[in-house]
Structure 1
Amino acid sequence: MGFIHRRTSKQTGKVKTLLGLALTRLAVARRPRVARRSISSSDVGQFLALGHLDRALHRAEHVIEEDNILEAFSIIELYCNRLIENAKQLDKPHECGEDTREAAAGVMFAAGWCGELPELLFARPILENKFGDDFSMMAKDGTDIVDPMLVWKFSGNKRNMELKKKVVKEIAAENNIQVKLF
């Protein structure tokens, strides 16, 4: 009798468990990233204080990279929570809301970029089975159905000189350092 009244399938339960574990691991993975971002930011400030603008610009790449990953982690956290909350919809993927489909696509895309979150790699095949091959191919490629911001955060150009200059200016302002950028 309990089998007939089950709320979600076994696979959906497994995805919920994996995403819950991913949320826990996200909190752990975030800590060293925050520390590295802080150290890199401090290095930029020190290089600016010493007048080494070229080194500061180079070190700004690390600040940008850590910022991007931390922001991507926030997006992934949002997606995991959304999928856990809407787990009942996963049993009928053709009836899923747009936000649930976007979350599933984001998790599937992030699985390929986040070695720190192996649970996403285990959740991806289950989501692929639920949503189908076309959906999963687009999600893995980061096209159409994946949030462009998430794609950019993982694959964005951290060597963009304008972005590095912006980061250096912000850090200089925080440290009350006058800097002239070319």
Structure 2
Amino acid sequence: MGFFHRKTSKQTSRVKNLLKLALSRLAIARRPRLARKSISRGDAGQLLALGHLDRALRRAEQVIEEDNMLQAFDIIELCCKRLIQHAAQLDKPQESGEEAREAAAGIMFAARWCGDLPELLFARNILENKFGDDFASAAKEGTGIVDPMLVWKLSGDKTNMELKKKVTKEIATENNILVDFSELQETIEQDGNGNGPHC
């Protein structure tokens, strides 16, 4: 692990290579998520047609989860490309521009959420050494200059009832089905779940 503590251009080359590998893996990681999103949308449409609104809402949650990850992948891809483009600045991180710092912070934050992209964890270790503990801590928490959209897509509430209703409504419209959410509220109350839907 000793070489992690030397700020050399060798580390910069390693980060570039790791990010290029992550970009290749992103293309592969998108496919199953696109498939799961499509299947979940289809399932939700069938459940709505059968009148199973509560189960359709659960499928909508899966659609949201896959969609959020796909959108996060787009942001991560942009971060990787920016950091590769501005890699020379990594040898003097204190002098690096806003784009390079934001991209580095995005990679550091995304690393813990993306098991599909193990290269990000290795890149994060090198970037942490280059940018320092304070920068790394803020980035890992999703504060500072981390893109707020990336934070929300990876760590936001996927069970938000209003969002699930919106997606369910879109699926219903695509399938020419009318949806009445008032029936759902009655079901929740009858089940004794006094908390009502998450908002």
CA deviation after TM superposition for structure 1 residue 62, in Å: 0.3
Show structure 2 runs of 5+ residues with no match. 1-7, 183-199
- Which residue is equivalent to 1:74? 74
Distance in structure 2 (CA, Å) of the matches to 1:57 and 1:116: 26
- Which residue is equivalent to 2:118? 118
Aligned-residue identity in percent: 75
1:100-126 Cα distance to aligned partner (Å, 9 max, x none): 101000000100111110000111111
Distance in structure 2 (CA, Å) of the matches to 1:113 and 1:53: 30
Distance in structure 2 (CA, Å) of the matches to 1:58 and 1:16: 40
TM-score (norm 2): 0.86
State the one-letter code of the partner of 2:153: K
Distance in structure 2 (CA, Å) of the matches to 1:171 and 1:163: 12
Q: How does 1:32-181 map to 2 (within 5 A)?
A: 32-181=32-181
1:33-72 Cα distance to aligned partner (Å, 9 max, x none): 0000000000110001111111111111100000100000
Distance in structure 1 (CA, Å) of the matches to 2:144 and 2:111: 17
CA deviation after TM superposition for structure 1 residue 141, in Å: 1.1
CA deviation after TM superposition for structure 1 residue 95, in Å: 1.3
State the one-letter code of the partner of 2:27: A
Distance in structure 2 (CA, Å) of the matches to 1:144 and 1:131: 13
Distance in structure 1 (CA, Å) of the matches to 2:12 and 2:80: 13
CA deviation after TM superposition for structure 1 residue 181, in Å: 2.0
State the one-letter code of the partner of 1:67: D
Two-structure CA RMSD over aligned residues (Å): 1.0
Distance in structure 1 (CA, Å) of the matches to 2:155 and 2:130: 27
| Alignment coverage as a number of residue pairs | 175
Deviation above 4 Å: which 4+ runs of structure 1?
none
CA deviation after TM superposition for structure 1 residue 94, in Å: 1.1
